[in-house]
Structure 1
């Protein structure tokens, strides 16, 4: 279990430094090897002068975002506890939406500083880069960083993490996978809304829209982000209900599962290594 804990505690600073450097501009990407931050670097083709400055910008953004990230994690934990109690959960969802608004606003400020460093060709990729940036500043969320083989537990997929956290046997693994497969599919509409509203923010930054237009796009994204988070925690509540009482009583595993499922329903697949 220790290697899982170590993996889950890797944060943004570990992604940005202390590992193999990202490929230089123009080099082909290395699928399956890059960390989320390195994929961001690859997308923008940052050069050796830009990269240190972007690292500093992200570090400052992560420090600013930390309190909001902790707030969002606590809200997610509460939603798991309050599953099936919509009246009690409503104020928690409202708080999560407000926190998502704050986090996205910090994302925007941080990315605008990056955007200002870019040349025209790089700026044309800002909409995609801003989409990829989701979650990178949230260092309050331990994540399974790294890559497969890159360290103890590095690069484990969500299914592998859940299996280790809860010591799932064959039947339990099938049940958990079935729940996540079905709920991921059912979340398609919320996921599409998340992607569309997040992309709209990046497009507004890329095209140099006025601050009011960007703020409007951020405001539209917050409930979409909250809606996806709610669905992820509903799926976790279903998983916990299907597990043994001993597994449900494992508080540390439940907390790590909350971390692991963050962003599970907003990407192209749920069973990948968490960012």
Structure 2
């Protein structure tokens, strides 16, 4: 492996994470042929196949699994070395990779913008995706930290709750229960629910809420987008169990209404999560401290 290049390890790590050369080409802005060539050269250097194709699916070989683990460690060490050298030079810069679950997309950009205002030399990349993908990015050490609800159980994580996360039930502005001052959960049994996809944190909280009240909700639609859910509720297609932090515009314009259902809002917590072994570079340490200090009041102002 002495003749392997850093670029080959970078390309291999991305291709192995996605188990797709096409996805790797898209992520790295390279051609499929360029990805294939670099992987082929890396396999020639290592003297053993790193991928195997079974049917239409691509899998890592045992050697590929070993190399992926080592490649991630090498790339992380290079990043940490770069950050340490920058700190020794007295530079204020650095790079941070952040992932947030899709529900947090309504406030995460504002937090990043405020941090960049204070630390303009720090470069931040932001990935917004569903909970399953954010978990994978954390476990694979592809991001430095994540903003999410429950930390992934499979990760040896450092997780700190930094702000309340209220989940509410919303309906269209002309819904029959809009003006009710207190609504029993049982009254929702006949309502059509528009819900997030299975595996999302919001979906899990919704299922637990109705399970605790011994009610099986009538699910009419399943969507992976909070925006699509809100528009469907506005159109009168059903009600939804959703994060209050996604509702600012619709509430202010009175297009949606939070129903006063007993037991709501369901309170969860937003967490900052990083791998327990993650080295805190100067930039990452500053960002972590900033979020803990600034984010609680910022989310409180959002309502």
Q: TM-score, normalised by structure 2?
A: 0.23
Q: Of the two structures, which has the highest relative contact order with CA contacts closer than 8 Å and spacing of 6 or more?
A: 1
Structure (1/2) with the larger strand percentage: 2
Structure (1/2) with the larger helix percentage: 1
Larger Rg: 2
